[in-house]
Amino acid sequence: MTRALAMISGGLDSILAAKLIKDQGIEVIGICFKSYFFSESNAVRMCKQIDIPLEVIDFSKEHFEMVKKPKHGYGKNLNPCIDCHAMMMKYSGELLRTFNADFIITGEVLNQRPMSQNKRSLEVVKKESGFSDKILRPLCAKNLDPTPMEVQGLVDREKMMDISGRSRSVQMELAANWNIVDYPSPAGGCKLTEPNFSERLKDLLLYKENITPEDIKLLSFGRHFRINNSIKIIVARTKEDAEGIKKLLNSDNIIMFPSSHSGAMVVIDGTFNEADLEIAASIAARYSKGKNENSVIIKYGRYRHPLKSIIEVKPIEDSEMNSFTIND
């Protein structure tokens, strides 16, 4: 029996491509990649709707190394889509033997994204994957040259599609016909496409040498301020925000709370001196009920230890604080 590996992003297009091939009587196994910037949660949900198994591949470390310096550059934000797709296809190609599969399915649509899914970019991705003769794009196959799978009769080219462009009307009609009703918006999924997250990641790459997974996860929480090359301040927005931040801290982190007034949790990330400490405390004071007072008492210390140290400061002026803001 013919078997295919379907690259499942968690979006609508990839699951439609898998369904299109499954309906030709071909066994389909979903392959989903997880990294520091996207998870498998949507893919799990989508695969259940068309009843195919899913294998999750964690390539976080290798993917992050590529993100730092992608061969083909970035998209609108810090998203290296061409290099990312090529890396996923390479991994999928190497899994063909593991799963005794014949070819790879992707949900790419010609000209859906102007930079990463034009005809030239699609060819670049195929070539750099190292498995160009094993890649099938069912949703736009009729707009492309026939693949070996079509020529050899493993799949019926006449049952492929010729979708092109950014409109999703055809995909939505297919989804309705196949009772695929629970799917995410096309903009969701990858944090590297988000402007605020991308700016924070740029800052992290610029100022921190040994970046941990926790450093990356912290980018999704709170307000971030760059005081200098060595210090970043994170201010929790809500109680839920603070709980999320706490899960990523260790006993080396310094945290602050207003003592004389209620206010937000503040984290100092980096090696600081007395001047840095005062700026951090003044930001903590700004995000307290005493923001209009002349002085606020701030308590601080290492996370999971008693906060025995105190400092009294005047809340920072908004104009100065805004100069430290990392794309809020």
Domain ranges of the chain: 3-190, 194-324
| Amino acid 127: pLDDT | 85
* pLDDT, tens only, 25-74: 999 999 999 999 999 999 999 999 999 999 999 999 999 999 999 999 99
* pLDDT, tens only, 85-113: 999 999 999 999 999 999 999 999 987 76
Q: At 67, list the tokens.
A: 């993100």
CB under 8 Å to 307, separation ≥6 — which residues? Answer: 255, 256, 257, 299, 300, 301
Helix ranges, the chain (H): 12-22, 41-50, 60-68, 81-98, 119-129, 148-151, 169-177, 195-207, 213-218, 239-246, 274-286, 318-324
Segment 316-327 mean pLDDT: 94
pLDDT at 187 over 70: no
| Amino acid 234: pLDDT | 98
Instruction: State whether CATH 3.10.310.30 applies to domain 3-190.
Output: no
With a pLDDT cut of 70, the percent of the chain lying above it is: 98
Of 123, 31, 116, 119, give the one whose Cα is nearest residue 81: 116
| Amino acid 188: pLDDT | 60
pLDDT at 1 over 90: no
pTM > 0.95: yes or no: no
Where residue 121 falls among pLDDT bands split at 50, 70, 90?
confident
| Amino acid 115: pLDDT | 60
Query: Coil, strand or helix: which one is 309?
Result: strand
Sign of CA dihedral 234, 298, 313, 268: negative
Instruction: Report the alpha-carbon distance of residue 307 to residue 288 in Å, rounded.
Output: 17
| Amino acid 21: pLDDT | 97
Of 261, 268, 270, 266, give the one whose Cα is nearest residue 291: 261
| Amino acid 283: pLDDT | 98
* pLDDT, tens only, 197-239: 999 999 999 999 999 999 999 999 999 999 999 999 999 999 9
Compute the radius of gyration of the chain from its Cα atoms.
24
Segment 278-300 mean pLDDT: 97
Task: Say if CB 68 and CB 208 are below 8 A apart.
Answer: no
Query: Coil, strand or helix: which one is 282?
Result: helix
| Amino acid 244: pLDDT | 97
